[in-house]
Amino acid sequence: MIRVALPYHLRTLAQLRSDVEVEVAGPVTQRSVLDALEARYPMLRGTIRDHVTQQRRPFLRFFACEEDLSHEPPDAPLPDAVASGKEPFIVIGAIAGG
């Protein structure tokens, strides 16, 4: 199972209290993880990726294993620790304001 950590407002939208776990068949990539997440929680469609382009929304970032993966290709494999469920794939709001 892949662990996904969502920002507070998306957890609220999906009525989640903590990290979510999703099952991914095949390679574990940003795309496959987010596809699985959106299939389980359709209310999140369009909130992380644009409906049409499937691009990451500009004010969101993707982190895992203390690395910024925001600009990695969507089909690049995620770190083994994410694929094994040891570390979460983190969706986080970009810092803005002060």
Partner 1 sequence: MSKVRVLVGTRKGAFILTADGKRDKWDVSGPHFAGWEMYHLKGSPADPNRVYASQTSGWFGQIIQRSDDGGRIWHQPGTPPGETPAPGPPKAVSNKFVYDSAAKPLTTHQWYDGTQHPWEFKRVWHLEPSLTDPDTVYAGVEDAAIFRSTDGGKNWKELPGLRGHGTGPKWQPGAGGMCLHTIILDPSNPQRIWIAISAAGAFRTDDGGKTWKPINRGLRSQYIPDPNAEIGHCVHHIAMNPSRPGILFMQKHWDVMRSDDAGDNWREISGNLPTDFGFVIDVHAHEPETIYVVPIKSDGEHYVHEGKLRVYRSRTGGNEWEALTKGLPQSNCYVDVLRDAMAVDSLDKCGIYFGTTGGQVYASADAGDSWAPIVRDLPGVLSVEVQTLA
Cβ atoms 10, 44 nearer than 8 A? yes
Minimal distance in Å, beta carbon 17 to partner 1? 13
- 7 vs 13: CA distance, rounded Å: 10
Indicate whether 27 belongs to the interface with partner 1 (CB under 8 A): no
Closest to 22 in 3D by CA, of 4, 10, 44, 5:
4
Single out the residue of 10, 22, 36, 69 in contact with partner 1 (rule: CB under 8 A). Answer: 10
Q: Which residue has the tokens 């969507």?
A: 74
- 5 vs 37: CA distance, rounded Å: 11
Single out the residue of 1, 45, 73, 81 in contact with partner 1 (rule: CB under 8 A). Answer: 45
Single out the residue of 5, 60, 65, 83 in contact with partner 1 (rule: CB under 8 A). Answer: 60
* Total residues at interface with partner 1 (CB under 8 A): 23
Residues at the interface with partner 1 (CB under 8 A) = 7-10, 13, 15, 39-40, 42-43, 45-48, 50-52, 57, 59-60, 93-94, 96
